[in-house]
């Protein structure tokens, strides 16, 4: 079984079918213009604020981690707030993961396009929910077939649209 990275958490909230495809190494995002735009916005933000490019700790790779005297600040940078709930839970997952490594952590969700920055703290309730989410993700990605299609208003902009709706 694949390790659970932040993208799994994000896709869990966006689309369970997309999660299954991604976890089972069926990737389409490299072809998506929207994904590339998001990567450029993230890179621009990091360059502007002189943040390091990418941090990888085992299976997680938060966009930016800054160490301060008493805590570590974890940044998640998104192109827009369209999937804000997914982004928040992805960030909370990073906080939960790093807390388990013994770090005192805080989070910051950044949406440069709208000049938004929001500080996030992990609660005990969040930690319980993350454990439930991880169990559900493991169940979904171990299925023999992807979950059924559920059309949402953003499906047409998704890189996986052909797999779901065009009989690819």
- Say if CB 60 and CB 97 are below 8 A apart: yes
- CATH code, domain carrying 76: 3.90.320.10
CA 148 to chain centre: 22
pLDDT digit string (tens) for the chain, length 168 residues: 457 999 999 999 999 999 999 999 887 765 555 555 555 555 655 565 555 545 556 678 888 888 889 999 999 988 888 999 999 999 999 999 999 999 999 999 998 878 889 999 999 999 999 999 999 999 999 999 999 989 999 888 888 888 888 865
Q: How many domains does the chain have?
A: 1
The answer to the question of residue 132 being in a domain is yes
Q: At CA 33, angle to CA 11 and CA 137, rounded to 5?
A: 10
Other Cβ atoms within 10 Å of 65 Cβ, number = 20
The answer to the question of residue 87 being in a domain is yes
- At 79 the pLDDT is 83
- At 53 the pLDDT is 46
d(CA 129, CA 124): 9
d(CA 107, CA 116): 14
d(CA 44, CA 46): 5
Predicted TM-score of the model (pTM): 0.84
- At 60 the pLDDT is 83
The answer to the question of residue 115 being in a domain is yes
Reference 88, options 100, 74, 72; nearest CA is: 74
The answer to the question of residue 1 being in a domain is no
d(CA 43, CA 63): 9
Q: Which domain holds residue 84?
A: 6-165
Long-range CB contacts (< 8 A, 24+ apart) of 52-60? 57/97, 57/98, 57/101, 58/3, 59/3, 59/4, 59/5, 60/5, 60/6, 60/93, 60/94, 60/97, 60/98
- At 112 the pLDDT is 81
């Amino acid at each position: 079984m694949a390790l659970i990275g932040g993208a799994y958490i994000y896709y869990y909230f966006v689309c369970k079918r997309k999660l299954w495809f991604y976890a089972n190494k069926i990737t389409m995002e490299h072809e998506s213009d929207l994904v590339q735009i998001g990567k450029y916005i993230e890179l621009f933000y990091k360059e502007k604020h002189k943040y390091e490019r990418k941090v990888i700790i085992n299976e997680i790779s938060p966009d930016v981690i800054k160490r301060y005297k008493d805590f570590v600040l974890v940044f998640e940078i998104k192109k827009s707030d369209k999937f804000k709930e997914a982004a928040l839970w992805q960030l909370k997952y990073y906080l939960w993961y790093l807390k388990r490594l013994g770090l005192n952590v805080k989070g910051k969700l950044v949406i440069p396009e709208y000049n938004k920055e929001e500080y996030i703290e992990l609660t005990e309730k969040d930690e319980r929910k993350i454990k439930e989410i991880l169990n559900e993700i493991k169940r979904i990605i171990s299925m023999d077939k992807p979950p059924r299609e559920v059309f949402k208003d953003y499906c047409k902009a998704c890189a996986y649209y052909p797999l779901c709706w065009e009989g690819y």
